[in-house]
A and B are shown apart, each in its own frame.
Chain A
Amino acid sequence: MLLAPSADDVRAIARVTGTGVLIFATVIAALALPALLLGEVNAAAAMMVGSAPAITFGVLARRLPVSTSRITWTRAIVTATTTWLACAVVAAVPLLLSGHFTGLDAAFFDAVSGLTNTGHSLVADLDHLPRSMVLLRSWMEIAGGAAFLLVGQSLLEARRALASSLAPRDATSEHVMPRTRKGLIRTGRTLAALGSLGALGVGTMLAVSGVPLAALPVTTISLVAAAATTGGFIPVSGAVGAYHSIGLEFVLMTLMLGGATSIGVLAAAATRRHDRIRHDLNFQMFVAMLVVTLTGTMIGLARAGTFETVIPIARHGVFSAVAAVTTTGLSTVSPAVFLSDFGILTPAALIIAMTVGGMLGSMSGGFSTLRMGLLAKGVLSDVKRVLQPEGAVPTVGWLRLGRREVLTDAHVRSAATTVMVFLISILTGATVLLWASGTVGLRGALLTATSAVGNVGLDVGVLAAGQPWYVTATFTVLMLLGRLQWLGLFAALGFVVAVFRGQ
């Protein structure tokens, strides 16, 4: 039986969504100031036009009376989805008004891409996009990354039911955010640490590589946000290889790895609890994925004969592998080269890495290394069951930051469901691309679809301004599906259905 949400539920969701929108839009309004300082009057006006209604909505929504302030699972999941969608609508307005998008669908696509830390873009003439709009793109990545870290800590990891996508086995629990304040502090510290490291490292490397002083602040912010949040929006068309700086590439790689590391592992590293990290299943699988992807990429590049000497193979191979595993989507070469010159094995290794993604509880996309680890443990459990005497129940354990958990069927089922939905989504995206264009090959379609569902944003030239509307719509949904995960999106849809058909 579908229960219709109460008026209090709707008000509570609107209130929390309003708070999120208010914070997001206030920063956009504040971006009007740098826009004016940079002499970009039209961009400043666009920021104000986009943010004013949102701020009004936020202020009004926060005044809504809510009889019970407890945050239930339904409220939390639906609020996460509505906040992401509402913020995307808010950001789409100034983007559209910049005149660099063919329509609202393209601007909304870019807003969703930024807020889901994907990095795909339908912007036209990126090199002449106002610098304040570049800052807006960075803000979308930072807001999306921070929100995902918060959601990760409150929903995904609540009550150690982290094996589930959104922990359905805990759905009977009413209170889901017992650690909001702690989560906020940890999120703030993580972003501040990565931001400081990035500002210093990236700024220095850019200055050394000859970027003009006037362009330095915006370029630095843009690259740091792109790498540390695993967002992947860069301020110029092409690739980060355009800066011709190995030092810059190393710093960006460091930031990408930081962005794809779970907040719990980062906290353990900050307090030197390395034994916890070493035995953490999430971390172990992340390392395994890095090694597998590096191996596949190096063998692939050596076999394809793309480069003649070791150094370019290592330079481009390591960066590509890290960008794929961390789902950042940055590249040192023009992404189209992945299809034309990197052979077969390298793109295949990258596709697998992008599907899995980084650690659960980090800013990266993919179905997460922890879920892959749980599936592997599930296989181990089944093998043990076959080998043990009949009737014996095998116990398979796994460690999460020093805490021992026992593998249950619910863990494996939940991980398998998430992986299945990911794979079906990738195939759906690839099919739509193949349907829409006769020139896109299977590799290109798979790479692009994986890149969207895994929130990677490695654009090999398949998605572009002026594409059919249904491609834009499909990939917008796929990016949301990747970030909010199947339960988040479907629960929100179910909520809407329940409003009309529930009892």
Chain B
Amino acid sequence: MASPERRDERPAQDASWKRPEEQPMWQHAIYGIGWVVAMAVAVTVVGLALAVLATLVL
């Protein structure tokens, strides 16, 4: 189990990282939404690649 210290540990090579309570609310929103959009883009790209592969093979 992670200790409270571990919870707020600064990720390696990321000088801009702030503890959650230090981060402004708009940054929370941008990072959260950006992550979801990135996931949708990844799903679309993987889906497109699979569609190309399936069409070529079958």
The distance from the CB of B14 to the nearest CB of chain A, in whole angstroms, is: 8
Whether B47 and A321, one on each chain, are in contact in the complex, defined by CB atoms closer than 8 angstroms, is: yes
Residues of A near B53 (CB, < 8 A) are 298
* Interface secondary structure of A, over-half rule: helix
| B51: contacting residue among A266, A273, A302, CB under 8 A | A302
With beta carbons under 8 angstroms apart, the residue of B1, B28, B29, B37 that contacts A404 is B1
Chain A 252-289 interface 0/1 with B at a Cβ cutoff of 8 Å (1 = within): 01100110010000110111110100000000000000
Q: Is the CB of A313 within 8 A of B51?
A: yes
| Cβ–Cβ < 8 Å partners of B17 in chain A | 272
Q: Which residues from A are CB-within-8-Å of B47?
A: 294, 298, 314, 317-318, 321
B1-47: which residues lie under 8 A (CB-CB) from chain A? 1-2, 6-7, 11, 14, 17, 20, 23, 28-29, 31-33, 35-37, 39-40, 43-44, 46-47
Distance between Cα atoms of A266 and B29 in the complex (Å)? 10
Kindly name the residue among A266, A271, A275 whose own CB sees the greatest number of chain B CB atoms within 10 A: A271
Residues of A within 8 A of B33 (CB): 193, 196-197, 258
Interface size on A, residues (CB 8 A): 39
Q: Which residues on A sit within 8 Å (CB–CB) of B54?
A: 298-299, 301-303, 313
Give Cα A322 to B39, complex, Å.
11
A290 to B50, CA, bound (A): 12
Interface majority SS on B: helix, strand, loop or mixed?
Answer: helix
A295: chain B residues within 8 A (beta carbon): 50
Measured between C-beta atoms, what is the minimum distance from A194 to chain B in Å? 8
Tell me, yes or no, whether A189 is within 8 Å of chain B by CB. yes
Q: Given the complex, which residues of B lie within 8 Å of A313, measured CB to CB?
A: 51, 54-55
The answer to whether B43 touches A253 (Cβ under 8 A) is yes
Query: Cβ of A402 < 8 Å from any Cβ of B?
Result: yes
Least CB distance, A463 to chain B, in whole angstroms: 29
- Give the docked Cα–Cα distance between A267 and B21 (Å): 12
Q: Which residues in window 211-259 of A have CB below 8 A to B?
A: 250, 253-254, 257-258
B39 to chain A, nearest CB (A): 5
- Write out the residue numbers on chain A whose beta carbons fall within 8 Å of the beta carbon of B14: 272
- Whether the pair A310, B39 counts as a contact (CB closer than 8 A) is no
Chain B residue nearest in CB terms to A265: B35
B55 to chain A, nearest CB (A): 5
Min CB gap A250→B, angstroms: 7
Q: Which of B29, B33, B51 counts the most A-chain CB atoms under 10 A from its CB?
A: B51
Q: Whole-angstrom distance from the CB of A377 to the nearest CB of chain B?
A: 18
Task: Give the CA-CA distance A272 to B36 in the complex, in Å.
Answer: 12
C-alpha gap A269/B33 in the complex (Å): 9
Q: By the criterion CB–CB under 8 Å, are A403 and B31 in contact?
A: no
- Report Cα–Cα, A298/B36, bound state, in Å: 23
**A291 sits at the interface (CB 8 A):** yes
For B7, B11, B20, B36, the residue with the greatest tally of chain A CB atoms inside 10 Å of its CB is: B36
Contacting pair A258 B46 (CB below 8 A): no
**Given the complex of chains A and B, what is the CA–CA distance between A53 and B29 in angstroms?**
39
Q: Kindly name the residue among A189, A196, A291, A313 whose own CB sees the greatest number of chain B CB atoms within 10 A.
A: A313
Asked if B44 contacts A318 (CB within 8 A), the reply is yes
User: Nearest chain A CB to B6's CB is how many angstroms away?
Assistant: 8
Residue of A nearest to B35 (CB): A269
Contact A261 B36 (CB under 8 A): yes
Please determine whether A303 and B20 come into contact, CB atoms closer than 8 angstroms: no
A402 to B3, CA, bound (A): 10
Does B32 contact A193, Cβ atoms closer than 8 Å?
yes
Minimum CB–CB distance from A395 to chain B (whole Å) comes to 15
A262 to chain B, nearest CB (A): 12
Question: Bound complex: CA of A196 vs CA of B26, how far in Å?
Answer: 12
User: A303-345: which have CB < 8 Å to B?
Assistant: 303, 309-310, 313-314, 317-318, 321-322
B1 touching A298, Cβ below 8 Å: no
- List chain B residues, Cβ under 8 A from A275: 11
Q: How far is the CA of A189 from the CA of B47 in the complex (A)?
A: 30
Partner of A269, one of B32, B46, B50: B32
Q: Return chain B residues, CB-CB under 8 Å to A301.
A: 51, 54
**Given contact pairs A302-B58, A317-B47, A318-B51, a sample of 16 additional A-B residue pairs in the complex whose CB atoms are under 8 Å apart:** A189-B28, A196-B29, A250-B40, A253-B44, A254-B36, A269-B32, A269-B36, A270-B29, A271-B20, A272-B11, A272-B14, A275-B11, A298-B47, A310-B52, A314-B50, A318-B43
Those 4 A-B pairs whose CB atoms lie nearest each other, nearest first: A318-B47, A269-B35, A270-B32, A314-B51
